């Protein structure tokens, strides 16, 4: 259950009508269900309850402070990929000792920041990054705790843009070379190798790629230990998919059983980095039809929300379910498009959709992950409001941007 359902004919989040929020906040807006976030986090905690584990929620998926705080208070840590995400996580109350830092392009300033606040671990992506980390750790006067992100060359069978574990991807170090790099790290005075990291992609709907990757990682960990390296942590990444359309992804419990069946006997503390599977179905994007247009070949629903607010359909040709906020009505073949001046600005194309008319509201389902975090100000459009619902109450947890926000930080120089 994702806590979005019709109540008295009106689509609601938990006990709050989306029509009520639209009337009071305006459209477009993202709406999140706190109960759904917590329900999905609890499913992971239950699936891995038999072993030491830390659930480091992936901040890039949805980094709203209210979301991070909700999950942190329930025991979650954070997986970050930038200094900005570290700042967000700390402001939201995430404990530094539950934060892992991933990503291929950590700047020296970001590395220093993370060392100074005392995060759990860096997931190192290249030999030169390790050298840089060693140097900065020496300047700070600490030992940097690291895992090397190994690339197992496993096909995750997902969209090419969100596949990360194959040789042709930019992420990680080839697993065949990882042993050499761990040996090199052991000779560095300011590095402490405490873990191994492996993340193969996102929106994965089969268990076999995870298991295949971890078989290789398990062999590496055993070899490292035989050489005297004290590997305490295994970061298995994230990537478990959700149902956008007709996908039937594994449940967290099935995922846990598969993972523990391979690495449950290693004695490592497992680090998980779920994002989409916690946030995706915990949010929707609510918009309004501005105009209907009968084209020569198809009908268009022109809305007040588009690719600047939710880029996944344009970027990945991704599917999102579309529901009318007011239940019922006919269905018609149409394109749901936005106001952006791009032919690629669509939310749904060539789909049988609710036959909405001017002024009517709709919800873009499964938008809680990689929705607002990927939004932009393209066409000088202010970013939308974000709303969090808990039971029968809601709060605006990020106000809608104003035109003044669009030019904040800009100047017109007088001397050029």
pLDDT at 170: 54
Alpha-carbon radius of gyration of the chain: 23
Distance CA 37, CA 13 (A): 12
pLDDT score recorded for residue 411: 96
Distance CA 177, CA 261 (A): 26
Which of the residues are catalytic?
341
Output the six-digit token pair for 74.
């329930």
CATH number for domain 4-32+280-406, candidates 3.40.50.720, 3.30.1510.10, 3.40.30.10, 2.40.37.10: 2.40.37.10
The pLDDT of residue 155 is: 63
Q: Do domains 4-32+280-406 and 35-279 have the same CATH topology?
A: no
How far apart, in whole angstroms, are the C-alpha atoms of residue 296 and residue 303?
19
What integer pLDDT is reported at residue 159 of this predicted model? 42
Q: Which residues contact 307 (CB under 8 A, 6 or more apart)?
A: 313, 314, 338, 340, 342, 344, 345, 346, 378
User: How far is the first Cα of the chain from the last one, in angstroms, to the nearest whole number?
Assistant: 59
* pTM for this predicted structure: 0.93
pLDDT for the residue numbered 168 = 53
Question: CA–CA separation, 241 vs 261, rounded Å?
Answer: 20
**Architecture field, domain 35-279:** Alpha-Beta Barrel (3.20)
Distance CA 169, CA 165 (A): 7
pLDDT of residue 248: 86
Which tokens go with 213? Answer: 């990757």
Total number of residues shown for the chain? 416
pLDDT string in tens for the chain (416-residue length)? 579 999 999 999 999 999 999 999 999 999 999 999 999 999 999 999 989 999 999 999 999 999 999 999 999 999 999 999 999 999 999 999 999 999 999 999 999 999 999 999 999 999 999 999 999 999 999 999 999 999 887 765 544 444 444 455 556 788 888 999 999 999 999 999 999 999 877 677 788 888 888 898 999 999 999 999 999 999 999 888 898 988 888 899 999 999 999 999 999 999 999 999 999 999 999 999 999 999 888 899 999 999 999 999 999 899 999 999 999 989 999 999 999 999 999 999 999 999 999 999 999 999 999 999 999 999 999 999 999 999 999 999 999 999 999 999 999 999 98
Domain definitions of the chain by residue range: 4-32+280-406, 35-279
Please tell me the predicted confidence (pLDDT) of residue 345: 97
pLDDT of residue 169: 55
């Amino acid at each position: 259950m994702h806590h979005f359902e019709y109540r008295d004919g009106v689509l609601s989040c938990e006990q709050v009508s989306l029509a009520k929020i639209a009337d009071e906040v305006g459209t477009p807006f993202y709406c999140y269900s706190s109960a759904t976030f917590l329900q999905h986090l609890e499913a992971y905690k239950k699936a891995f309850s038999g072993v030491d584990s830390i659930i480091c929620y992936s901040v890039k998926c949805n980094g709203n402070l209210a979301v991070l705080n909700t999950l942190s208070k329930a025991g979650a840590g954070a997986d970050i990929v930038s200094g900005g995400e570290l700042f967000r996580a700390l402001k939201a109350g995430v404990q530094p000792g539950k934060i892992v830092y991933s990503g291929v392009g950590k700047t020296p300033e970001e590395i220093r920041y993370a060392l100074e606040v005392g995060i759990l671990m860096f997931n190192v992506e290249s030999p030169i990054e390790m050298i840089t980390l060693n140097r900065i750790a020496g300047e700070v006067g600490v030992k940097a705790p690291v895992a090397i992100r190994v690339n197992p060359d496993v096909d995750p069978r997902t969209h090419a843009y969100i596949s990360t574990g194959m040789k042709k991807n930019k992420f990680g170090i080839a697993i065949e070379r990882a042993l050499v790099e761990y040996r090199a790290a052991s000779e560095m005075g300011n590095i402490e190798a405490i873990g191994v990291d492996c993340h193969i992609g996102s929106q994965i709907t089969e268990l076999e790629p995870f298991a295949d990757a971890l078989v290789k990682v398990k062999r590496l960990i055993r070899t490292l230990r035989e050489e005297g390296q004290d590997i305490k942590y295994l970061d298995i990444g994230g990537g478990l998919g959700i149902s956008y359309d007709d996908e039937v992804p594994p449940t967290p419990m099935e995922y846990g059983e598969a993972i523990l069946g391979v690495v449950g006997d290693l004695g490592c503390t497992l680090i998980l980095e779920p994002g989409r599977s916690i946030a995706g179905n915990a949010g929707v994007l609510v918009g309004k039809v501005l105009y209907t247009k009968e084209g020569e070949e198809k009908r268009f629903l022109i809305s007040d929300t588009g690719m600047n607010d939710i880029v996944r359909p344009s970027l990945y040709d991704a599917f999102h379910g579309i529901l009318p906020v007011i239940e019922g009505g006919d269905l018609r073949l149409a394109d749901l498009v936005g106001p952006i001046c791009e032919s690629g600005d669509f939310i749904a194309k060539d789909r049988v959709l609710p036959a909405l008319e001017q002024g009517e509201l709709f919800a873009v389902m499964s938008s809680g992950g990689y929705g607002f975090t990927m939004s932009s100000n393209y066409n000088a459009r202010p970013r939308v409001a974000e709303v969090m619902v808990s039971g029968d109450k809601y709060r605006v947890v990020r106000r809608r941007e104003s035109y003044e926000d669009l030019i904040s930080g800009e100047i017109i120089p007088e001397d050029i």
